[in-house]
């Protein structure tokens, strides 16, 4: 089968022929019809993720497709069904999974990181009974491809972790894929949203998705906090760091009003340096600082219901134009460090 691979961190991304995977016991093989191109893939390519250890490596972790085959112990009724899967594939057996927290499973596997990813014609989904998510007939496969990371991650951060409600003020720092999805999800809950980014194009996109206020982060952290504080009449109820940097983390916390909730979604790998968390503010104002990591497959139904009902419009989050092929995906992935987000770019591995 055809797949996009790289032989070392930062090495060229090439489309090559690789052996087709077989379904493992308890797992399934999915024919990928669409896969989202995510900044996390770029981080992995550069060597920022220690889970990538075997080369050549296939990136890609946002997938939607059709179940091609299943392994021993998996219900054969899955074969032929349209599905997606979270990028955190839980084991389904441990105490954490049994408690309903598969998104932080200690035995998790991740396509595109611990395992070959979805920038290929076929991809393996482990623990299929736990991780396969059937798609509603009304949901387009292309739109569903973005659910596995950005939209699901934003949905859990805004709805599951921050419990954003109607009329609350939410500041989103970083308007890449996760940030723009967070804007859309927060607006779908009736919240007022302020978006912060360095890119004029990304801020324009945030306005299109319903942000009430936008701030160019190049004015500096203190100015961002001042604008958000004035806009929200004393500080936001919720801040979402969708970028992941010491500065955006601190700015998000300082942008909160008393008893506000900060959700850290953007990754803060050790290479970014220490984060100066203003703990005096956290304690004195009783702020909540929450981590958020993906979303378990068992938590997908409410999000899918919101999509089908039209409360959450996935199409607004997709980049304009047709899906790109694997070769174009390689070029786009390597350029992500210097390219502003224009929405979720879809990859069609058959091209």
CATH number, domain containing residue 13: 3.90.180.10
pLDDT for res 37: 93
| Same domain (yes/no): 141, 9 | yes
| Same domain (yes/no): 120, 233 | no
Tell me the average pLDDT across 150-179: 96
pLDDT for res 314: 79
| Same domain (yes/no): 78, 113 | yes
| Same domain (yes/no): 209, 237 | yes
At residue 316 the predicted structure's pLDDT band, cuts being 50, 70 and 90, is confident
Number of domains in the chain: 2
Structural domain for 243, as ranges: 157-291
Question: How far apart are alpha carbons 39 and 112 in whole angstroms?
Answer: 12
State the chain's mean pLDDT as an integer: 95
Specify the 3-state DSSP secondary structure of 38.
Answer: coil
Question: How far apart are alpha carbons 139 and 73 in whole angstroms?
Answer: 28
| Same domain (yes/no): 60, 117 | yes
pLDDT at 341 over 80: no
| Same domain (yes/no): 332, 209 | no
**Final residue before a domain boundary, out of 251, 272, 291:** 291
On whether residue 28 sits in a domain, the answer given is: yes
On whether residue 297 sits in a domain, the answer given is: no
**Final residue before a domain boundary, out of 271, 291, 311:** 291
302 and 150 Cβ atoms separated by less than 8 Å: no
On whether residue 116 sits in a domain, the answer given is: yes
The pTM (predicted TM-score) of the whole model is 0.92
On whether residue 303 sits in a domain, the answer given is: no
| Same domain (yes/no): 134, 34 | yes
For 222, residues 6+ apart whose C-beta sits below 8 A from its C-beta are: none
At residue 322 the predicted structure's pLDDT band, cuts being 50, 70 and 90, is confident
| Same domain (yes/no): 71, 205 | no
pLDDT at 146 over 80: no
Question: How far apart are alpha carbons 9 and 155 in whole angstroms?
Answer: 31
pLDDT for res 274: 86
62 and 294 Cβ atoms separated by less than 8 Å: no
Tell me the average pLDDT across 234-240: 98
| Same domain (yes/no): 136, 164 | no
CATH code, 195: 3.40.50.720
| Closest to 116 measured CA to CA, from 68, 67, 42, 61 | 61
* Distinct helix (H) and strand (E) counts, the chain: 12, 14
Compute the C-alpha angle 47/156/27, nearest 5°.
Answer: 65
Tell me the average pLDDT across 235-263: 97
Task: Average the pLDDT over each of 95-109, 122-136, 170-184, 329-343 and give the range with the smallest value.
Answer: 329-343
**pLDDT above 90 as % of the chain:** 86
- Mode of pairing for the β-strands spanning 28-37 and 122-125: antiparallel
173 and 252 Cβ atoms separated by less than 8 Å: yes
| Same domain (yes/no): 209, 96 | no
pLDDT for res 15: 98
Taking the CA of residue 252 as centre, how many other CA atoms within 13 Å lie in the half-sphere pointing to its CB? 32
């Amino acid at each position: 089968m055809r797949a996009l691979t790289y032989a070392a961190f930062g090495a060229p991304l090439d489309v090559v022929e690789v052996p087709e995977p077989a379904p493992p016991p308890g797992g399934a093989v999915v024919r990928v019809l669409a896969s989202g191109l995510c900044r996390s893939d770029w981080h992995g390519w550069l060597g920022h993720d220690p889970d990538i250890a075997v080369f050549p490596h296939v990136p890609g972790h946002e997938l939607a497709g059709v179940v091609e085959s299943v392994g021993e112990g998996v219900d054969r009724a899955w074969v032929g069904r349209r599905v997606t899967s979270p990028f955190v594939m839980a084991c389904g057996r441990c105490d954490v999974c049994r408690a309903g927290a598969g998104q932080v499973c200690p035995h998790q596997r991740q396509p595109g990181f611990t395992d070959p990813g979805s920038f290929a014609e076929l991809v393996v989904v482990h623990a299929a009974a736990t991780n396969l998510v059937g798609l509603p007939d009304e949901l387009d496969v292309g739109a569903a491809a973005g659910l596995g990371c950005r939209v699901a991650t934003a949905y859990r951060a805004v709805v599951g972790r921050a419990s954003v409600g109607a009329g609350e003020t939410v500041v989103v720092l970083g308007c890449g894929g996760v940030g723009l999805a967070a804007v859309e999800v927060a607006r779908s809950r009736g919240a007022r949203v302020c978006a912060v980014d360095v890119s004029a194009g990304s801020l324009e996109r945030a306005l299109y998705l319903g942000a009430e206020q936008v701030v160019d982060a190049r004015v500096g952290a203190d100015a961002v906090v001042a604008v958000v504080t004035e806009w929200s009449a004393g500080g936001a109820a919720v801040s979402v760091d969708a970028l992941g940097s010491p500065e955006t983390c601190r700015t998000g916390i300082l942008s909160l009003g008393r008893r506000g909730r900060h959700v850290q979604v953007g990754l803060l790998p050790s290479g970014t340096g220490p984060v100066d968390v203003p703990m005096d503010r956290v304690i004195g104002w009783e702020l909540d600082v929450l981590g958020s990591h993906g979303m378990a497959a068992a938590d997908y139904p409410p999000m899918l219901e919101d999509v089908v009902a039209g409360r959450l419009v996935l199409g607004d989050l997709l980049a304009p134009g047709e899906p790109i092929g694997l070769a174009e995906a390689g070029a786009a992935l390597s350029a992500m460090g210097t390219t502003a987000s224009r929405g979720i770019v879809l990859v069609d591995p058959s091209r």
